[in-house]
Amino acid sequence: MKLQRKNRRALALGALAVSGALALTACGSDDTGTNGGGDTTSSTGASNIKCDDASGQLLADGSSAQKNAIDAWVKQFTAACKNVQINYKGGGSGAGVTAFTQGQVAFAGSDSALDEEEITASKQVCKGGQGIDLPMVGGPIAVGYNVPGVDNLTLDAKTIAQIFNDKIKNWNDPAIAKLNPDAKLPDLKIQAFHRSDESGTTDNFTKYLIATAKADWPYEGGKAWQAKGGQSASGSTGVAQQVKQTSGAISYMELSYAKDAIKSAQIDTGASAPVQATTENASKMVAAAKRVGTGKDMALELDYATKAEGAYPITLVTYEIVCDKGNKAETLAATKAFLRYIASEDGQKVLAENDYAPMPEEIISEVRTTIEGLS
| pLDDT tens, residue by residue, 276-291 | 999 999 988 988 899 9
Strand 131-146 with 249-254, pairing? antiparallel
Contacts of 310 (CB under 8 A, 6+ apart): 271, 275, 280, 281, 284
Q: Which residue has the higher pLDDT, 16 or 262?
A: 262
Q: Could you give the percent of the chain with pLDDT greater than 70?
A: 87
- At residue 15, does pLDDT exceed 60? no
Helix (H, G, I), strand (E, B) or coil at 15: coil
**Residue 47: pLDDT band by 50, 70, 90 thresholds?**
low
**Rounded mean pLDDT of the chain?**
88
C-alpha 142 chain-centroid distance: 11
Neighbour tally for 180: CB within 10 Å: 19
**Residue 338: pLDDT band by 50, 70, 90 thresholds?**
very high
Domain range summary for the chain, segments of one domain joined by +: 141-282
Q: What is the per-residue pLDDT across 102-122, written as a single tens digit (0 to 9) for each?
A: 999 999 999 999 999 999 999
Q: Quick check: 371 and 340 in contact, CB under 8 A?
A: yes
Neighbour tally for 98: CB within 10 Å: 19
Query: Which residue blocks in the chain are alpha helix, DSSP H?
Result: 67-80, 93-101, 116-122, 157-164, 174-179, 200-212, 235-245, 279-286, 329-343, 345-352, 361-372
Q: What is the pTM of this model?
A: 0.78
Q: Quick check: 313 and 141 in contact, CB under 8 A?
A: no
Q: Kindly report the backbone phi and psi dihedral angles of residue 215, in degrees, each rounded to the nearest multiple of 5, phi listed first.
A: -65, -30
- At residue 48, does pLDDT exceed 90? no
Q: Kindly report the backbone phi and psi dihedral angles of residue 275, in degrees, each rounded to the nearest multiple of 5, phi listed first.
A: -110, 130
- Cα 348 from Cα 45, distance rounded (Å): 13
Q: Kindly report the backbone phi and psi dihedral angles of residue 353, in degrees, each rounded to the nearest multiple of 5, phi listed first.
A: -80, -5
Q: Which amino acid would we find at residue 58?
A: L
- Is domain 141-282 given the CATH code 3.40.190.10 in the classification? yes
Over residues 195-199, the mean pLDDT reads 94
**Residue 304: pLDDT band by 50, 70, 90 thresholds?**
very high
- At residue 16, does pLDDT exceed 70? no
